[in-house]
Amino acid sequence: MVDTVKEFRLPDLGEGLTDADLVAWKVQVGDHLELNQVIAEVETAKAAVELPSPYAGTVAELLASPGDTVPVGATLLRITVSGSGGSDTDTPAAKPDQPETEQRPQVLVGYGPGDAPVSRRASRKALSETDSDEKMSSSGTVALRPDAKPGARREAKDLGVDLATVEGTGPGGVITRADVRRRADRGLPQASGTDDDTRVSIRGIRKRSAAAVTRSAFTAPHATVFLTCDATHTVELVTRLRSSPPFDGTHLTSLSVVATALMRAIADEPSLNSSWDEEAQEIVVHHRVHLGVATATDEGLKVPVVRDAHAMRLPELADAIASASGGARSGESTPVDLTGSTISITNVGVFGIDAGTPILNPGEAAILAVGAITDRPWVVDGALAVRKVVTLSLAFDHRLVDGEQAGRALAAVGAILRDPVPTLIARP
């Protein structure tokens, strides 16, 4: 048995992801690795992910630098494994520079393989600077690497902020992008730009989000219908249920009532829960509803998914939405948690906005935007009264959904908000 050098390639980390940004190395050349030891942290369009080593051995070579965008299938590092037989994915230790061949991307447990091989040349970049958990200071002492979210590290780099000077306010003292911005506002120099402009690198979630909405806007023919309705009884119901024993501890909000109403509308208008298969020239109607919940986070917009939302009653759906959004904001969501939605909902009202025209999540037929619920004059039984009023905006792919279907669905949601008890409480 002879020593061999195994190559660790960036695995397929989720549906539709073709690359990832290398945030930090957790190992250095010469380090001994245990099986499943974390070797690097990367960030995809969906989430930050820690990569475990599939081998026990010694780090032989690092082939990317923090900040690099690495394609799926590209080699990240080489690991020397003692007494291991070779295979078609191994590089013999005595011949680390042998000719390269195109090979299928490596796969991590829990993620599917890529559809096509990817050349290694895209990532063949020598590591010029390591980013480990410890760094040597100018005085010769070891300084611990600040605990910061990936988005905060990029923000600090762009704004020229030393993370060692930033006080973290996130869970456990972790540094967030907001913390970095506050520190920058106190007079630290900008990393790039002039007195009039600041330049921020487009990467990570922001880069992929921009690509997704651009693709959606120019491939799906968007149309939007609006409905302003009286939600007074919905607000009253939420207030009453929050203090009732069956809902004790439940994260009940008006948004969860709207989401439940949307599930009812989809049952009658299934075209809203469909997708367009361009290659097969087919419309795919999904029988299960996986609800995407648009969530603003420090890293940018994320859409965590509540799976099988159609099968949930109001209390369960309310908690599922709260849990999904919370996981996205804290950075705990995995790529799997952020993929596979069939229809989405977004709450623009949380920012005090009355209405908007949302862009479809790529691959979905519809997205419902919920505006702010505000006191407005409203005619009730022929008399003017002050009521809780909300505007709903339903954007849809006109290839999949006709205006008639969208209008009926939105009207059905509005009818439930006007009188929620019979549908949401009495009906299972």
Which DSSP string do the residues of 74-116 spell out, in sequence order?
-EEEEEEETT----TTEEETT-TTPPP---PPP--TTSPPPSS
| pLDDT tens, N- to C-terminus, the chain (428 residues) | 678 999 999 988 765 667 888 888 999 999 999 988 999 988 876 677 889 999 999 999 999 888 788 888 899 999 999 865 544 444 443 344 444 434 434 434 333 333 333 333 333 333 333 343 444 444 443 345 677 776 677 677 666 777 888 888 877 787 887 787 777 766 433 445 566 777 766 766 777 778 788 888 888 899 999 999 999 999 999 999 988 887 888 899 999 999 999 999 999 999 999 999 988 889 999 999 999 999 998 878 899 999 999 999 999 999 999 999 999 998 888 888 999 999 999 999 999 999 999 999 999 999 999 999 999 999 999 999 999 999 999 999 999 999 999 999 999 999 999 999 887 765 44
- In the chain, what is the greatest distance between 2 CA atoms, to the nearest angstrom? 90
State both tokens at 102.
């195109």
State both tokens at 198.
């600041």
Active-site positions? 398
Q: Are 319 and 327 in contact (CB under 8 A)?
A: no
What are the chain's domains?
A: 4-123 (2.40.50.100), 146-201 (4.10.320.10), 209-426 (3.30.559.10)
Residue 349 CA to residue 250 CA, distance in Å, equals 21
Q: Which of 201, 181, 158 is nearest to 69 (CA)?
A: 201
| Residue 418 neighbours by CB distance under 10 Å | 13
Beta strands 343-347 and 366-370 are: parallel
